[in-house]
Amino acid sequence: MSESQHKHDEHVSHKKNNEMQSHTMDHSMHKEHMGHNAPDNSMHEMHMDHTQHKKEMASNEHMDHASHAGHDEHAGHGTDHTGHEQMFRTRFWGSLLLSIPVLVFSSTLQNWLGFSIPEFTGSSWIPFIFSLVIFAYGGIPFINMAKPEVRNREPGMMTLISLAISVALIYSVAAQLFGLGEGFFWELVTLIDIMLLGHWLEMRSVRQASGALNELAKLMPDEAELVTSDGNTKKVSVEELKNDDVVLVRPGASVPADGQVVDGESSVNESMITGESKPVDKGVDSKVIAGTINGDGSLRVRVTATGDQTALAGIMRLVDQAQKSKSKTQLLADQAAGWLFYVALSVAAVTAIAWIIAVGFNIDVLKRVVTVLVIACPHALGLAVPLVVAITTSMGARNGILVRDRLALEAARNINVVVFDKTGTLTEGKFGVVGIATTKDWDENSALALTSAIEGDSEHLIARAIREASNDRKVDLPSISNFSAIKGRGVQATYDGKSVYVGGPRLLEILNVLPSENLMSFADEAGKKSQSVVYLVADNEVVAAFAVADKIRSESKQAVKRLHDMGVEVAMLTGDSRPVAEAVASELGIDHVFAEVLPEHKDLRISELQKQGKQVAMVGDGVNDAPALTRADVGIAIGGGTDVAIESAGLILVKSNPLDVVKIIALSRASYNKMIQNLWWAAGYNIIALPLAAGILAPWDILLSPAFGAVLMSLSTIVVAINAQLLRRTSLSFVTQ
């Protein structure tokens, strides 16, 4: 009993400290831990200030990509798509409109489609002039985005696109100026059009998938009702709020800042933060989170955190960081894009040599080379993983799972042992009534009601547990009088003119009474589980016994079962005595028990499992479990609603729900499978298309034109985008059930 109580008190203390730390966390300290993938300050601050974030997003909608395209951040084209959708859409429609004269005056298309345009002075220059305009308007952005790739010696898809359209333009200009025959202006403009279309669709897909940050930003109101010193209210900007200000939150309004209720009662919808759909009841001293929606009552809230110190801002930081971090699969995709550049050059060189030997150098040879370069563009490859990453992190955030490190989420699919801290994780971290036994003359509710009434004025942990049990059962408490404490034994009061007592075994000793046989058996069974037993004595007879212990969470048993169904073993790590640990493990069906472990030795138990070849996930509160969380292959910290900045774990659970660990593994497996599928869609397409582009089937008159190659490339991009979006359907049933 004493060890459990000590662990509980320690846990509560740690939780309070952790909450305070999360609200006072220095922004620069947080960024220091984020590693080399951390966003720069300008991007970081964008997510800290709601109003500034909205302005940034609005300006991004109109930014000209070309003016920024030479910056290094665009080297990672596959991971930075912000603000490009509008530009690509505008340039696509503009280029498509300008392409019409080129297509109409192309003799090749006229022959194919069976129409003719009468020639007039200068008509032969129309495709030339319009192609130059289209190249400058729609093609130059690709070349600007290729510059950092070339400068950093990291060739990728922008380099390939630029190479393809540049070769096409140079040859066509030479053909026009030096009479080398018909250029392929129509192929050039359609190639640029299709590239712009593919990028526009890609940007739109990524924007839709990466909407988590925008949606989180929308949760924050722009204004708050500040309660003035005279008790009136006035509307102020949220940015003006300071700690200790009191704000009025009206029914249906958003909570403007993290805080503590000082007056009023209501229920608050916290689903956008915790993923829990059921509204949470709030009263005086309850904590509320910025961005959550108030129910039917009015609340007066004392502000405890504003700006970048709120829980919502912390969640936005983690979502943003996770979307910018790279997983091993994403690094593989980046490497594949680089390899494909050299493969494309090699295949293009072999194609040129083979065709020159076969037919001599002519426009058809150049068409083959250009087609190879177009087909090889790793556009789909660049989208394959980032889009899945964006969808995964946004899905996780909506379900109370915050991804701080992409590598941690990816590694979760290989976990075969999950180690849970007991107190506060598998259990609720507070005492509760776990069993009741009565004599035949008393029913449980009557005994509980009387005991709760007697304990009404006590602040003891056991007394609070009994009162909570009576509240849960909604029993009516009888009237009692003459309450007094019996030092070291229990309490007594008068009920219906008779003395009644509540206390432990030592109370029975001084009263010289013995429990009945069934109550003795009940107490013995509770003792084997190291549970405390409290007795109710009335009419000099022991009429009821209550077993009190740290209550097991209702979700814990289901979580253990679900993990077993997924082929994952479950272990429990606790500082409590072995009887207590064994009792909890037996009830939940846990495979491995580590009991009486000091906090500083918890990581050694993780190491023991790892030495057995196990891939280990550790689930703890992020305070005294920090060394074990760091040691584990995957560290999962319990966030407790607002503690979203726990640095020792790669994954953070907003709710203290063990079932969320099941969600993590299910989401990890589904996400990884979707990444691999996309990589095969992208790479497999190139494996088939490159030989066709080179002309391997030319003897059978099967040749791919540059424009048709661009169509196929864009189709592969769309397929990858759609396949990534299917992640929402294929995994959401596992994640949210």
pLDDT band for position 446 (50/70/90)? very high
As a whole number of angstroms, the distance between CA 572 and CA 153 comes to 50
Of the listed ranges 209-223, 236-250, 408-422, 514-528, the one predicted with least confidence = 209-223
Q: Which residue has the higher pLDDT, 301 or 599?
A: 301
Does the annotation mark 457 as catalytic?
no
As a whole number of angstroms, the distance between CA 653 and CA 533 comes to 34
What are the two backbone dihedrals, phi and then psi, of residue 297, each rounded to the nearest 5 degrees? -95, 165
- Confidence at residue 28, expressed as pLDDT on a 0 to 100 scale: 32
The class that CATH gives domain 429-551 is alpha beta
Top-confidence range, 452-466, 497-511, 614-628: 497-511
Top-confidence range, 478-492, 532-546, 617-631: 532-546
Residue closest to 720 by CA, chosen among 202, 170, 259: 202
pLDDT band for position 611 (50/70/90)? very high
pLDDT of 545 strictly over 50? yes
- Confidence at residue 101, expressed as pLDDT on a 0 to 100 scale: 92
In the set 245, 258, 405, 421, the catalytic residue is 421
Range(s) of the chain covered by CATH 3.40.1110.10: 429-551
Mean pLDDT across 482-501: 86
pLDDT of 626 strictly over 70? no
For the chain, the average pLDDT equals 75
pLDDT band for position 689 (50/70/90)? confident
pLDDT band for position 546 (50/70/90)? very high
What are the two backbone dihedrals, phi and then psi, of residue 578, each rounded to the nearest 5 degrees? -60, -40
Mean pLDDT across 317-342: 60
Range(s) of the chain covered by CATH 2.70.150.10: 220-309
pLDDT of 73 strictly over 50? no
In 470-540, the DSSP E strands lie at 481-486, 490-495, 498-503, 532-538
- Confidence at residue 571, expressed as pLDDT on a 0 to 100 scale: 94
What share of the chain has pLDDT > 90, as a percent?
18
pLDDT band for position 729 (50/70/90)? confident
User: In what helix (H) or strand (E) does residue 294 lie, and over which residues does it extend?
Assistant: strand 293-294
The predicted model scores a pTM of 0.58
Mean pLDDT across 247-273: 86
pLDDT band for position 432 (50/70/90)? confident
Q: What b/e sequence results for 397-411 when a residue is b if at least 16 CB atoms lie within 10 Å of its CB, and e otherwise? A: bbbbbbbbbbbbbbb
Q: What b/e sequence results for 339-355 when a residue is b if at least 16 CB atoms lie within 10 Å of its CB, and e otherwise? A: ebbebbbebbeebbebb
Structure tokens at 539: 């009419």
Topology adopted by domain 220-309: 2.70.150
Q: What strands lie across the sheet with 427-438, from one edge to the other? A: 427-438, 541-552, 532-538, 498-503, 490-495, 481-486
As a whole number of angstroms, the distance between CA 280 and CA 276 comes to 9
pLDDT of 216 strictly over 50? yes
For 128-132, the CB contacts below 8 A with 24+ separation are: 128/172, 128/173, 128/176, 128/183, 128/185, 130/98, 130/99, 130/101, 130/102, 130/185, 130/189, 131/102, 131/169, 131/172, 131/185, 131/188, 131/189, 132/169, 132/173
- Confidence at residue 560, expressed as pLDDT on a 0 to 100 scale: 94
Top-confidence range, 16-30, 72-86, 202-216, 562-576: 562-576
- Confidence at residue 655, expressed as pLDDT on a 0 to 100 scale: 75
Q: Which residues contact 513 (CB under 8 A, 6 or more apart)?
A: 537, 540, 541, 542
Q: Which residue has the higher pLDDT, 558 or 69?
A: 558
What share of the chain has pLDDT > 70, as a percent?
73
Strands 616-620 and 634-638: parallel
Of the listed ranges 66-80, 424-438, 533-547, the one predicted with least confidence = 66-80
- Confidence at residue 29, expressed as pLDDT on a 0 to 100 scale: 31
Residue closest to 432 by CA, chosen among 423, 441, 440: 423
As a whole number of angstroms, the distance between CA 620 and CA 7 comes to 14
Q: For the CA atoms of 427, 432, 433, 434, what is the dihedral angle to 10 degrees?
A: 0
pLDDT band for position 411 (50/70/90)? confident
- Confidence at residue 317, expressed as pLDDT on a 0 to 100 scale: 66
